[in-house]
Amino acid sequence: MAFKVVLATKNPHKVEEILAILGDIPGIEWLTFRDVPFSDVEEVGETLEENAILKATAVARETGLPALAEDTGLEVEALGGAPGVRSARFAGAGKDYRANNEKLLRLLEGVRNRRARFRTVAVLALPDGRTWKAEGVLEGEIAGAPRGEHGFGYDPLFIPEGETRTLAEMPPEEKNEISHRRRALEAMRPILHELSSGKLRL
């Protein structure tokens, strides 16, 4: 019998990446917002960890199923770690990825230190309130202008350490091999195997 696990996000780009990374775990049937309706969760946490826990626990409680959530932030050294937890809303509520990228480039105009990192915190929550957390980090720097047609968010501006290409210049499968999201989700894999094998009691 397959265990059903809900992906606690309504971002189709994130759903696609999570399924590409964890979709091969035997015994788990992944459900998305298209399969199981759940309410929007307001991301009012002050950290990535708080937001991931908020989303996972709320969706697990509402659906009665295990839920996997993640929150990701871009932390730019010269900006004191901003945009960080506010990465998705950096340019203001309702603004798109392009507006966020444009604001970031404006703030870094003339700045020589372009060091940055992507950080993802993933949380698995059970309906009874138990949670597990994992983190993934990808170091790199901010490009001078957007490059590439793949990915989403800040991918056109982020050059991983040891690379000359931005994440958006990499094919999706190549990005998913090295990404911050993959590192967090792979760290979550052992507990998901325990769930699918029945070692972890619901």
Q: Which fold has domain 3-197?
A: Maf protein (3.90.950)
Closest CA to 11 of 67, 70, 59, 51: 70
pLDDT for 94: 79
99: Cβ contacts below 8 Å, ≥ 6 apart? 91, 92
Q: What is the pLDDT of residue 137?
A: 98
pLDDT of residue 188: 95
Catalytic residue (choose from 24, 35, 40, 71): 71
Predicted pLDDT at 109: 97
- Per-domain residue ranges of the chain: 3-197
DSSP E strand boundaries for 8-160: 28-31, 67-76, 83-84, 115-125, 131-142, 158-160
Cα–Cα dist 59/125, whole Å:
9
pLDDT per residue of the chain (202 residues) written in tens, 0 to 9: 678 999 999 999 999 999 999 999 999 999 999 999 999 998 899 999 999 999 999 999 999 999 999 999 999 999 999 999 999 999 988 789 999 999 999 999 999 999 999 999 999 999 999 999 999 999 999 999 999 999 999 999 999 999 999 999 999 999 999 999 999 999 999 999 998 887 777 7
Please give the DSSP secondary-structure letter assigned to residue 117: E
Give yes or no: 71 in active site.
Answer: yes
Strand, coil or helix: 116: strand
